[in-house]
């Protein structure tokens, strides 16, 4: 493969699957990689140098970082990995109306420029309407049938616009929950089933919510996973804030043991449908051994869980 060339593009023309078919039959398409997910980091200036590590074959671009009008070169430069995904922050699929076309097209441009095969954002809302007020953070969607309808409609618009790139929806960490007739797992499962979009399972967000609101994170993952056709994962480490008595998903510390346990469990129940796993780190950056060590551990666990006896 060459810089800027996707895995699909590297195949002889006669062997290239159609994009849609490629996305739907990815396990077979990536047969040479067995059932292993691609593994990597959300790229930051502080970790660009570790993408030469043999444990890393995926990269996640945060759209809001890459969307710089002064940038003249491709955002990921000459980094050459198998799986590139673009992570957006303001699609706000839980808003009453879909995102505006300017934002959609800017995201897709960055995705195509960097050879991405997928785009993701969060299950939440950050604004009231597409040219309305931005809150600057995700709020949880009210778990109602009306919100479910609106979110499904928005995701349909998003998926149609981004096609043939696959779209994944991430579960957020929240500091409060809204009341409604649907449980979180039920809402998310129904959304995944109706839209067919992928699940970006943020394992740390499940850990944080389970810790803060007293539910079983293992069970939550088991409940939602059957509804997900394809899966990406996020892993990160946060801190327990004694002042508010909550675990905060601050991306500031090594991945804690409780998240590693949930990650193993998620790999077990999602066997065969995990496309990529990304580590997120935004504060207290580690040294080189820290960066490389965590990616290697993510891969070692995925390899261990990829053994036939580990998933039955
Ligand atoms: Fe995340």
Distance 80 CA to ligand 1 centre (A): 23
In a domain, 5, yes or no: no
Distance 248 CA to ligand 1 centre (A): 12
pLDDT attached to residue 137: 80
- Taken in order 125, 128, 134, 135, the sign of the CA dihedral is negative
pLDDT attached to residue 163: 96
Q: Which of 85, 113, 88, 117 is nearest to 103 (CA)?
A: 88
Distance 97 CA to ligand 1 centre (A): 23
Distance 195 CA to ligand 1 centre (A): 21
Distance 204 CA to ligand 1 centre (A): 8
What total number of domains does the chain contain? 1
In a domain, 82, yes or no: yes
pLDDT attached to residue 3: 37
pLDDT attached to residue 9: 47
d(CA 34, CA 154): 34
pLDDT at 182 over 70: yes
* Predicted confidence band of residue 308 (pLDDT cuts 50, 70, 90): low
In a domain, 8, yes or no: no
CA 37 to chain centre: 13
Give the mean pLDDT of 269-289: 97
In a domain, 312, yes or no: no
Count of helix runs (H) and strand runs (E) in the chain: 11, 12
Distance 222 CA to ligand 1 centre (A): 19
pLDDT attached to residue 1: 39
In a domain, 4, yes or no: no
pTM over 0.85: yes
Specify the pairing of strand 198-202 against strand 166-170: parallel
d(CA 288, CA 50): 8
pLDDT attached to residue 6: 43
Q: Which of 42, 43, 139, 45 is nearest to 90 (CA)?
A: 139
The pLDDT tens digits for 219-266 are 999 999 999 999 999 999 999 999 999 999 999 999 999 999 999 999
The whole domain housing 102 covers 19-305
DSSP secondary structure letter of residue 139: E
In which residue are the tokens 């996973």 written?
225
Residues with CB under 5 A from ligand 1 (ion): 202, 234
Q: Give the CATH number for residue 253.
A: 3.20.20.150
Distance 221 CA to ligand 1 centre (A): 15
Distance 170 CA to ligand 1 centre (A): 7
Distance 250 CA to ligand 1 centre (A): 10
* Predicted confidence band of residue 289 (pLDDT cuts 50, 70, 90): very high
In a domain, 259, yes or no: yes
Distance 234 CA to ligand 1 centre (A): 5
Q: Cβ–Cβ contacts within 10 Å for residue 88, how many? A: 24
In the chain, what is the straight-line distance between the N-terminal and C-terminal CA atoms, in Å? 35
Distance 157 CA to ligand 1 centre (A): 22
In a domain, 12, yes or no: no
Residues in CB range of 247: below 8 A, 6 or more apart: 207, 208, 211, 212, 238, 239, 240, 241
pLDDT at 18 over 50: no
Distance 14 CA to ligand 1 centre (A): 37
d(CA 247, CA 203): 13
- Percent of all residues in the chain with a pLDDT value above 70, rounded to a whole number: 87
In a domain, 14, yes or no: no
* Predicted confidence band of residue 30 (pLDDT cuts 50, 70, 90): very low
Give the mean pLDDT of 60-69: 93
């Amino acid at each position: 493969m060459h810089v800027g060339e996707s895995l699909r593009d590297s195949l002889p023309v006669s062997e290239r699957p159609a994009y849609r078919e490629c996305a739907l039959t990815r396990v077979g398409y990536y047969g040479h990689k067995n059932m292993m997910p691609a593994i990597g980091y959300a790229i930051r200036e502080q970790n660009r140098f570790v993408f030469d590590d043999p444990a890393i074959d995926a990269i996640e671009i945060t759209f809001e970082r890459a969307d710089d009008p002064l940038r003249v070169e491709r955002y990921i430069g000459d980094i050459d990995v198998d799986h590139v995904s673009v992570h957006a922050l303001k699609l706000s699929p839980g808003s009453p109306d879909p995102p505006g076309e300017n934002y959609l097209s800017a995201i897709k441009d960055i995705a195509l420029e960097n050879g991405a095969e997928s785009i993701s954002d969060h299950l939440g809302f950050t604004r009231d309407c597409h040219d309305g007020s931005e809150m600057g953070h995700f709020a949880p969607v009210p778990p109602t049938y009306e919100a479910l309808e609106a979110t499904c409609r928005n995701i349909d618009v998003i998926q149609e616009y981004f096609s043939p790139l696959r779209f994944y929806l991430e579960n957020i960490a929240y500091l409060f929950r809204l009341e409604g007739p649907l449980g979180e797992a039920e809402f998310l499962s129904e959304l995944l089933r109706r839209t067919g979009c992928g699940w970006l399972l943020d394992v740390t967000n499940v850990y944080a919510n389970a810790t803060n609101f007293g539910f079983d994170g293992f069970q939550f993952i088991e409940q939602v996973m059957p509804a997900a056709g394809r899966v990406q994962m996020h892993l990160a480490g946060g801190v327990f804030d004694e002042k508010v008595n909550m675990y905060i998903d601050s991306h500031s510390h090594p991945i804690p043991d409780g998240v590693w346990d949930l990650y193993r469990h998620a790999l077990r129940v999602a066997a065969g449908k995990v496309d990529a796993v990304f580590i997120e780190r935004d504060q207290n950056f580690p040294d080189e051994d820290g960066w490389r060590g965590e990616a290697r551990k993510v891969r070692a666990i995925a390899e261990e869980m990829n053994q036939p006896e580990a998933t039955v």
